[in-house]
Amino acid sequence: MRDWAARHRWETVLGGILLATIVVNATLSPFFLGFGNFINLFWLSIEKIIVVVAMTFVIINGEIDLSVASVMGFSAAVMASAFAGGDIPFAVAIVLGLLAGAAAGLAQGFLIARVGLPSLVVTLAGLIGFRGAARVLLEDRSVGDFPEWFDRLGQQPLIGSIPLALIIFFSLLAVAWIILERGTFGRKVYVIGNSADVARYSGVGVSSVKLRIFVASGLAAGLAGVLFAARLGSVRGSLGEFFELDIITMVLLGGVSIFGGSGSMLGVALAMFTVLSIRNGLGLANVDGIIQTGVVGLLLIGSVLVPNLLEGIQSRRPAPEP
Amino acid sequence: MSDSVDTVLSPSRSARWMKPDRIKELTLVGIITASVLVFSLLIDNYLSGRFFNRITTSVVIVAILAAAQTLVLITRNIDLSVGSIVGVAAYLTGDFLGANNWAGPLIAVLVAMLIGAVFGSFNGVLVAYGRVPAIIVTLGTLALFRTMLSLYAGGQNITADSLPDWVLELNRVTVVSIGGLDLRLVFLIAILVFVVLQWALARLRSGRRLYAIGSNPEAAKQAGLPEQRLVFWTFVGSGALAGLAGFMFLARIGTISATAGAGLELESVAAAVVGGVSIFGGSGTMVGALLGATLIETLELSLVRVPQVSEFWRDALLGILILAGVLLDFTLHKRLGRRLTAAARTDAGGSPPTTIGARRRAGKGSSDA
Amino acid sequence: MTEVTPILTMSRVSKRFGATQALDDVSLTLYPGEIHAVVGENGAGKSTLIKIMTGIYGADSGSMVVVGEEVSPRNSAEAQLLGIAAMYQEPLIFRDLSVAENIFIGHQDRGRLVRWDAMYQDAAQILERLDLDIDPRMPAVGLTVANQQGVEIAKAISLEVRVLIMDEPTAALSAHEVDRLFQQVRSLRDSGVSVLFISHRLDEVFELADRITVLRDGRHISTRTVAEVTEESLIKEMVGRDPSDFFAWSDRPRGEVVLRVESLTRRGVFEDVSFQVSEGEILGFAGLVGAGRTDVGLALFGVSPADSGSVELDGIPVELESPRDALELGIAYLSEDRRQLGLSLPQSVTSNITLATLPRYTSSIGLLNAPAERQDAGSLAEKLTIRTPSLATPVSQLSGGNQQKTMLAKWLNTNPRVLILDEPTRGIDVGAKTDVHHLIDELARSGIAIIVISSDLPEVLAMSDRVLVMREGRVRGVFDRDEATQERVMTAAVGTV
């Protein structure tokens, strides 16, 4: 156990923070520890954490995707406007929405992986551009009145008290966890994140891995957009706006290095749970949403600053190896 | 490397070349001219003095923010918190003016810039001395500053009637009028800011050093440049400029809520990148940033007047513009870089044939501060 | 010379990194107006020494005295203030700034304002003094390496340095450019600067240096004037042994031709390269750094494909467009740059060894077969005597020699037909070197066709069945083992006399 903790220092620290949050929350509110509240805690942010899973791959791979929230909006807008067009069955509209997400990821991934543009700018352009595309599709309308089964899937529990979105999220998390830490693909993701050149010199198809990751990120954002539409019951052009901050924060707070190559799904899962618990706790204590966002911003900076400071104290003058 | 190769590659005095920055600036002037021409064909009565006045007044805020962003981008960093600083500065300055009716324009501007500088210094400390990548710091403070404003405002807005009269009139003050073209005060202030900054970047030792840091951080360290101090002051400067933009925002809108200025950070990055400021650091000019902001503003204000295009195209086009800007910068970089790497290629350094510089920068150019 | 006060004295300096004693009680004195060469094999401690002089590392013990005053610079800026500057194989250039700015960027004494005209004039003057035809106004991005180095020397002149350290400055230069560099260095010396010159090319050392210091395994071996040493005596002191001491060649059975390369060309890099390698044969690639040997290796591995020419594997023409192509055909390439291109340092020994063969361990649903990975990695680690706490240890924690063996294990795991080894013993200790040599011999005996690219001439001569010599991108001679003497190979590689 001590050995494990030594090798997973950040995860251990996170576990501690999470435990503290839970204890504080539980004392603040008798409702916090209820099963219903846990379902709620995940459900209210389910769209974000679905994208977090994909973003973990993106950042470990040494890239970043700022466009996810806009792609969510874009996918939902594609679905809604296809539906509003009225000629096609709603299921096809959903598929179109998901495809739109994947296509957004493919386009950006192509520019990053094949052309070689920096992901920071490409996805910044994506952040603005896909939000713009969503607005072009919906203008200032709100499209709703989806089929009843769709709203029910989004708004009511499916099995027992567990809603569909939660089932999707947890299965996605499990699959992603296995792929990242037990799969060949995951191994490549780490190696490329450490050094794309080493990977290339070892015969690893660097650009195809990168491309697939961005497609996955787009698809996850698309899925999240569709689920969000189901939960809200209507779609506007601004759906999901500014979610990228929370999403990236959770990944980085989970101990994934912004420079790529390191981090674990366990850390990210713990970080998700921590952030959601803090938001939930603050919510239970009637703290305003905007303040919760500020706390998340502080956490983001702290998650990089604190290790930096600790490292600085440990070795004033790092001794490089010969 | 044979001698003949060497003579081909080595630029002799007689060889003609043009600074990459000039190329970018001229390209932009060309694009702006071309788009104005196209719009004048599409829109009746397009080339009017009124339209010129509208563009020059409305470009001011984005232009000043583009200047702020340019300072930061040159050092291979990024400042995503400028939009939040605009909001904070606009709100607090409005608050200040409401309570201190005696204060004149000069004091108001100073107050706004001071507020911006204070918030910018927070970013600066974390990036320069805390060694946290700028993208993380400013993504965090984007939220954090907004939260602080929200707490301070407590749901109250700054309203136009709480402000001294001169504030709202400021936007319409015309200094000279030539034909139908008014040169408004706010526009001239922005131009002054650009002249000063362009001069500082070109003539001040510290200004040149910003380029050095962004161009090659490793070499900057070797040369003993005070990297941390300069990066810190760059963020302070960016904050102060965002503060100035905040004051202009107040003067234009009058009514300020806690969400004022949200999203401006993206427009500032867009204007700078479109203006040829490299996200890889080390290159870009204030003239370029101003041109970039002008192009974006011209497109935005013109498109809404084209009958066939809906106003909702704005953001989508902005995204495309940024991409085009980056692609242009990337191609230029690659062409210049190829000459360099072709010459520098050595089987000793183990340099693979791809440009290592470009590869290393390809990941997250601005985050490895 | 002894009555003159030294500019810089390093006394009994030691430095240790983890398990490696990089410098052990080394002393060195530099006088004004001398060119002092420091020679030694890779890992002899040269770069550690100059990094201490320039303040990048602090010494564990010993002292550094600059003109009678004990100093310990904490970074290169402080060293620069003391008058010590260094230039490296790859010049540190600000690509986006003008040439003149590159020269004057570190100056504290030119005021807060940049006076462009004055700066261009001063720069032009210095450049002219160096006989460099560069426009000081142009951005540095288009400069050749030779001109970049010229700019660095101009920078040193403008800073009025007392000690200029040059670390392998000629590595990427053509003969003509080297001549001009040497003229510049001599004129620096004549103006009283002390130049510390580090080079692998002994001919250059003899041409340029006034005194020569030999380092070996972190220890000071000798310092003599150039008149007191010969090439042989230097090599003996550097290597500490004869070529035949470290590897005893014996006849190996040779089979069919495996790889046949015909007029391979990559424009501006190498031209018209032809050779063949057989089963069980070791073909040495000799030549100076920059001769194009690595580039031929990279072309065969598909990293930077050739423009023209043909490659046949077992008599069948093949296309090599990517490392994946090469690996599928059984060509493996061990990079000279272990840290940047060879190993994923934070990853475990196991995952490095299996990195090039991941498909083999991948199940139909894309999962890795960890036990199989561990088993293969384990048996290779045993075969290559890789010393590591465990197979799960990150390779960054291994010594240089064990890292090198791990990299070798990665390529052996691909069961290559052709194995290209680029500087296979660079930067590893003597014990590991011997291990690697025996291993290469064993691999050849198992029927692999091997190409050894090495700048260590005794090593190439000792290992190879035939030696191919390259100079300036062309093959300048292929020698059978019994014809390949140091002199002949060296002559072909250097191209003079």
Q: What is the pLDDT of residues C46-57, one digit of tens each?
A: 888 998 998 888
Average pLDDT rounded to a whole number, residues A183-201: 95
Give the closest of B6, B283, B352 to C304, CB-based.
B352
Chain A residue numbers with beta carbons less than 8 Å from the beta carbon of B139 are: 245, 248-249, 297, 300
pLDDT beyond 50 at B30: yes
What's the pLDDT score for residue C95? 86
A206 part of contact set with chain B, CB < 8 Å: no
Confidence of residue B18 (pLDDT cuts 50, 70, 90): low
Among B130, B147, B320, the residue with its CB nearest the CB of A291 is B147
**Coil, strand or helix: which one is C443?**
helix
Q: Residue A37: count other Cβ atoms within 10 Å of its Cβ.
A: 15
What is the pLDDT, as a whole number, of residue C443? 93
Q: What is the pLDDT of residue C240?
A: 66
Mean pLDDT of C229-233: 82
- Lowest-confidence range among A63-72, B311-320, B337-346? B337-346
Q: Report the distance separating Cα C203 and Cα C492, nearest Å.
A: 13
Residue C175 has pLDDT above 80, yes or no: no
Q: Is B304 on the interface with A (CB under 8 A)?
A: no
Q: Is the pLDDT of residue C493 over 90?
A: no
- Cβ separation A128–B318 shorter than 8 A: yes
Residue of B2, B214, B349 with shortest CB distance to C90: B349
Which pLDDT does position B9 carry in this prediction?
36
Where are chain A's structural domains? 54-241, 243-311
- Helix, strand, coil abundance in chain A, percent, nearest 5: 75, 0, 20
Determine contact: C93 vs chain B, CB below 8 A. Answer: yes
Residues of B in contact with A117 (CB under 8 A): 326-327, 330, 362
> Which residues of chain B from 226 to 285 reach within 8 Å of chain A, CB to CB?
258, 266, 269-270, 273, 279-280
Q: pLDDT at position C430, please?
A: 67
- Is C328 an interface residue toward B (CB < 8 Å)? no
Which range is least confidently modeled, A114-118, A276-280, A310-314, B77-81? A310-314
- Region C346-375 average pLDDT: 95
Which residues on A lie below 8 Å from C17 (Cβ)?
319-322
List CB contacts (< 8 A) between A115 and chain B. Answer: 327, 330
> Which subunits sit against A, judged by 3+ Cβ pairs under 8 A?
B, C
DSSP E strands in C135-174: the ranges are 163-167
Residue of A191, A198, A204, A264 to mutate for C, most C C-beta atoms under 10 A: A198
Q: Which one of A124, A258, A297 has the shortest CB-CB distance to B144?
A: A297
Over residues A224-247, the mean pLDDT reads 92
**Does C323 contact B at CB distance below 8 Å?**
no
In the predicted model, is pLDDT for residue B135 greater than 50?
yes
Cα nearest neighbour of C411 on chain A? A202
SS3 C469: strand
The answer to which of A216-220, C240-244, C482-486 has the lowest mean pLDDT is C240-244
What is the per-residue pLDDT across A289-300, written as a single tens digit (0 to 9) for each? 778 888 888 988
Supply the mean pLDDT for chain C. Answer: 88
- Residue range A250-267: mean pLDDT, rounded: 91
Separation between Cα atoms, residue C61 and residue C78, nearest integer Å: 19
Q: In this complex, is the C-beta atom of C361 within 8 Å of any C-beta atom belonging to chain A?
A: yes
Say if CB C410 and CB C26 are below 8 A apart: no
Output b/e per residue, B66-84; b: 16+ Cβ within 10 A.
Answer: bbbbbbbbbbbbbbbbbbb
Share of chain A above pLDDT 90, in %: 61
d(CA C304, CA C292): 12
Quick check: C367 and A204 CB within 8 A?
Answer: no
Measure the CA–CA gap between C412 and C332, rounded to whole angstroms.
8
Among C80, C93, C134, whose Cβ lies nearest the Cβ of B216?
Answer: C93
Would the pLDDT of C19 be above 70?
no
Q: What is the ipTM of this complex?
A: 0.87
| Mutate which: A124, A259, A314, vs B, most B CBs within 10 A | A124
Has residue C243 got a pLDDT over 90? no
The shortest CB-CB distance from A198 to any of C18, C333, C344 is to: C344
Q: Could you say which of C148, C172, C341 has the minimum Cβ distance to residue B352? A: C341
Alpha helices in B216-263 (DSSP H): 217-222, 227-253
Neighbours of chain C (3+ CB pairs under 8 A): A, B
DSSP assignment of B162-201 equals GS-HHHHHGGG-EEEEETTEEEEHHHHHHHHHHHHHHHHH
| C163/A213 Cα distance (integer angstroms) | 51
Q: Is C276 on the interface with A (CB under 8 A)?
A: no
> What crossing angle do the helices spanning A119-138 and B314-344 adopt, rounded to 10°?
160
Mean pLDDT across A209-222: 98
Q: Does the pLDDT at position A247 exceed 90? A: yes
Give the range among A11-15, A162-166, C201-205 with minimum mean pLDDT.
C201-205
pLDDT recorded at residue C363:
94
pLDDT at residue C196 above 90?
yes
Q: Between chains, do C96 and B225 touch, taking CB under 8 Å as contact? A: no
Chain pair A-B, CB pairs under 8 angstroms: 166
Task: Give the closest-approach CA distance of A310 to chain B in angstroms.
Answer: 11
Note whether A131 contacts B140, CB cutoff 8 Å: no
Cβ-proximal residues to B324 (8 Å cutoff; 6+ apart), any chain? B274
> What pLDDT, on a 0 to 100 scale, did the predictor assign at position B344?
39
Average pLDDT over residues C409-434: 88
- Res B2 pLDDT > 60: no
Q: What is the mean pLDDT of residues B117-121?
A: 98
For testing the chain B interface, which of C50, C110, C135, C141 should be mutated: the one with the most B CBs within 10 Å? C141
Identify the residue whose tokens are 């004004």: C32
Q: Does A76 touch chain B (CB under 8 A)?
A: no
Backbone angles phi, psi at B48, to 5 degrees: -120, 160
Answer for the pair C83, C157: CB distance below 8 angstroms, yes or no: no
Tell which A residues from 8 to 67 touch B, by Cβ distance under 8 Å: 62-64
Q: DSSP string covering B310-364, please?
A: -GGGHHHHHHHHHHHHHHHHHHHHHHHHHHHHHHH--TTTT--SS-HHHHHHHTT
Chain A residues close to B142, C-beta within 8 Å: 245, 297
Task: Collect all residues of chain A within an 8 Å Cβ-Cβ radius of residue C361.
Answer: 184
Predicted local distance difference test score (pLDDT) of residue C130: 85
Q: Which of A202, A208, A317 to mutate to test the interface with C (most CBs of C within 10 A)?
A: A202
Average pLDDT over residues B77-96: 96
Q: Is the pLDDT of residue B15 over 90?
A: no
Highest mean pLDDT pick, C274-283, C382-391, C398-407: C274-283
Nearest-Cα residue of chain C relative to residue B353: C304
- Residue B51 tokens, joined: 């339209």
Model confidence band, residue B340 (pLDDT cutoffs 50, 70, 90): very low
C2 CB within 8 Å of a chain B CB: no
Torsion of CA C103, B348, C323, B356, to 10 degrees: -10
The verdict on a CB contact (< 8 Å) between C145 and B11 is no
- Closest approach of chain A CAs to the CA of B332, in angstroms? 13
Q: Which residues of C touch A204 (CB under 8 A)?
A: 355, 358
Mark yes or no for CB contact B147/A308 under 8 Å. no
How many Cα atoms sit within 13 Å of B354 on the Cβ side? 17
**What pLDDT does residue C159 have?**
86
> Using CA atoms, how far apart are residues B20 and B82, in angstroms rounded to an integer?
28
Mutation pick from C105, C113, C321 vs chain B, by most beta carbons of B within 10 Å, is: C105
Mean pLDDT of all residues in chain B?
83
Average pLDDT value for residue range C198-213: 87
Residue A293 pairs in a beta bridge with none
- The pLDDT, as a whole number, for residue A320 is 36
The pLDDT of residue A243 is above 80: yes
Cα torsion at C215, C221, C225, C228 (round to 10°)? -120
Q: Which residue has the higher pLDDT, C432 or B349?
A: C432
Interface of A with C (CB under 8 A): 178-179, 182-185, 187-188, 190-191, 194-195, 197-205, 261-262, 317, 319-322
Question: What confidence tens digit (pLDDT) does each residue in B161-173 have?
Answer: 899 989 888 888 8
Quick: pLDDT tens for C123-137. Answer: 999 998 888 888 898
| Contact yes or no for A194 and C344 at CB 8 A | yes
Whether the CB of A251 is below 8 Å from some CB of chain B: the reply is no
